[in-house]
Amino acid sequence: MCIILLRTFRYKSKINFTSNIMAARLSSDMTKFKETLKSSKEIIILSGAGISAESGIPTFRGAGGYWRKYQASSLATPEAFRNNPSLVWEFYHYRREVAAKAQPNPGHRAIADYESKYGSTKKITVITQNVDGLHARAGTKNLIELHGNLYKTRCTKCKEVLVNNDSPICEALADRGAPDANIIGSDIPVRFLPHCEKPSCGGLLRPHIVWFGENLEAAVLEKAESAMATCDVCLVVGTSSVVYPAAMFAPQAAARGATVAEFNIEPTPATPDFHYYFEGPCGTTLQEALSD
């Protein structure tokens, strides 16, 4: 099942009726939601770019979704890497450096603290579309990273996946990757980009990220779908609900009877499918929802 960015115009009519549907179906009753959460046995927290945006991580969505003059999603493809690995590595080097300087925010910490407190009596799983590692740094243990991790590399030749926290990841990328729209292209020779260190290989490394048009790792997808299939409560946190297949998880859970609550700064295409909607910064709303 491959990563697809859903075309948001398909949802325009649905979004236009969001306020009316919300009035009929959705609740913002935090007390009632907390009662439901307290009695739950299996909880999924599905997070997206919105929660990390509160730590200063660019979302690369909407009008601001550009790095230099490039739409960020156009660089997150295998075709872009084949055509210009230097440019793609500059983009991901920039993202690695930004994420390395960022800190988990109150939303990340509220999730980790909730898991630490109730993980022995409830099955709590965090499924994230984010690749910045902030959930793990906040202390979350039962974590499924759907789209990979900025601090892992995969060899294009031998396919070995390794953790790599080097800064810069190679000398040629030092002081490169600035999001300056006046910088055109990238000219780092391929031989100077990150390569596999095994003497028998030496293949070009790529970020261990699931790019648009690529399949999620089968084991990762199976683990996520298995958790979603049995949860009784799902918290949708800071996700735009336009990247497939993650966009289908919560609506499917709601359709089979699980309670779904969305925490976001604005409604999304999937909002009308849910039971609760809590508007505002995740760091504020999650702290309230996950506290005693």
**143 strand-pairing partners:** 126
93 annotated active-site: no
pLDDT score recorded for residue 41? 98
Instruction: Please check if 139 is assigned to a binding site.
Output: no
Q: Do residues 234 and 258 touch, judged by C-beta distance below 8 A?
A: yes
pLDDT-derived band at 64 (thresholds 50, 70, 90) equals: low
d(CA 21, CA 70): 37
Domains and their CATH numbers in the chain: 17-57+105-147+217-292 (3.40.50.1220), 58-101+148-209 (3.30.1600.10)
d(CA 275, CA 129): 22
Q: Is 233 left (phi over 0), alpha (psi -120 to 50) or beta?
A: beta
d(CA 110, CA 89): 33
Instruction: Please check if 111 is assigned to a binding site.
Output: no
Active-site residue, selected from the candidate residues 93, 108, 135, 147 = 147
pLDDT-derived band at 10 (thresholds 50, 70, 90) equals: very low
And the tokens for 74? 């156009």
pLDDT of 169-224, one tens digit each? 999 999 999 999 999 899 999 999 999 999 999 999 999 999 999 999 999 999 99
Instruction: Please check if 119 is assigned to a binding site.
Output: no
Using the predicted structure, report yes or no on whether residue 63 has a pLDDT greater than 90: no
Instruction: Please check if 234 is assigned to a binding site.
Output: no
More confident position, 252 or 244: 252
